[in-house]
Amino acid sequence: MKSKVGRNISIFFCLLLIAAIAALYVYIYAIPSITGSLTETAVLSYGRLSTSNEAKCLIIRTEKVIKAESGGETGYYIPEGEKTRKGVKVMDIYGSPRTSYFCEETGFISYYIDGYEDILTPETMENIVPVAYLGDEEREPAFKPEPTDRTAETVEKGDPVFKLITSDAWTVAAFIPSDYANDYEWGQTVTVVFPDGVEIPGTISSTVDRDDYLLALIQIKRYYPDFAKIRMLDVTIITRDSEGLIVPNSALAEEDGQKGVYVKDINGGYNFKRVKVIVTTENESLLVPDSFTEKNDKDEVVNVDTVRIYDEVLRNAEDK
């Protein structure tokens, strides 16, 4: 009998210990995360925010396609995508007669050809119509450029055999959905993230409205290994990437047409302080710290005192 009571007591204390451990876990981990979201204030701290969107794009280059002057067996001397000096032999066609092909000027050699080399050019790229390459609910895309490797053991007269890309700079013609059009402007620096994760900075050289899309022409000057053999692909474009003070969007308020937040003072009250927003995402915004400049009514540049790191701001401005 006593042994049974002892076992029951042991089980009771084991259950009590488990309950105590569970309560301690909730106290240490769950409660802070819950109460943190319910606190009246948010403390400003330094951070980084970026805005981006996905887009389909075309790669635009200055390029010339070389065609076979006669048929025959082939011999290639330059690897795909390699930059070559003027006068270097690219290939031979062992026909009747044998024909040798040399690099006409310094540039990149590519054997990937899609037939759009004379259509998608720096001179015509502002005329690109996105829907022609994307299609819509009623129509399939009118154009589907797909570069193919034209290297072969034998070729016929008139076959395209290689192309010469003569410009170091190239252009990403990005089809930007209208929802993101306001994030793009002339002269802006953006970062293009390619499918393999490579990030390359570029500058917006032109923007053109095209129905439901903005055509953003982004000039790239850095070499990308596969740029010579690609034409159309999906990329991610980072339009803003900045550092500053992070604040919940719910903390932003407006007084007399000026944007700001309510900063807690030593007496527990809240004072409106103007802010300058660098970038905004769905839930947070990035603010300029300490001070910013602007022009007053007399067209004079003045300094505006603003929020600082560790300021406590009212988390929900509507509660003021």
pLDDT in tens, the chain (320 residues): 445 545 555 555 555 656 556 555 544 444 444 444 456 999 999 999 999 999 999 999 999 999 999 999 999 999 999 999 999 999 999 988 899 999 999 999 999 999 999 999 999 999 999 999 999 888 899 999 999 999 999 999 999 999 999 988 999 999 999 999 999 999 999 999 999 999 999 999 999 999 899 999 999 999 998 999 999 999 999 999 999 999 999 999 999 999 999 999 999 999 999 999 999 988 999 999 999 999 888 889 999 999 999 999 999 999 87
Looking at the DSSP bridge assignments, the partners of residue 172 are 59, 218
In 23-87, the DSSP E strands lie at 41-43, 45-60, 63-67, 72-76, 83-84
The CATH 2.40.420.20 domain(s) of the chain lie at: 41-51+244-319
Q: Nearest Cα to 113, choosing from 229, 223, 224? A: 229
Arch. (CATH architecture) of 56-236 = Beta Barrel (2.40)
pTM score: 0.75
C-alpha to C-alpha distances, 12 to 1, 2, 129, 239, nearest whole angstrom: 17, 15, 75, 61
Residue 193, burial from CB neighbour count under 10 angstroms (0-12, 13-18, 19+): middle
For domain 41-51+244-319, the CATH class is: mainly beta
Cβ-contact 252, 287 below 8 angstroms: no
ω into 97 cis (within 30 of 0): yes
Comma-separated ranges of CATH 2.40.50.100 domains in the chain: 56-236
For the chain, give the longest Cα–Cα distance: 111
The answer to whether residues 84 and 111 touch, using CB atoms and an 8 Å cutoff, is: no
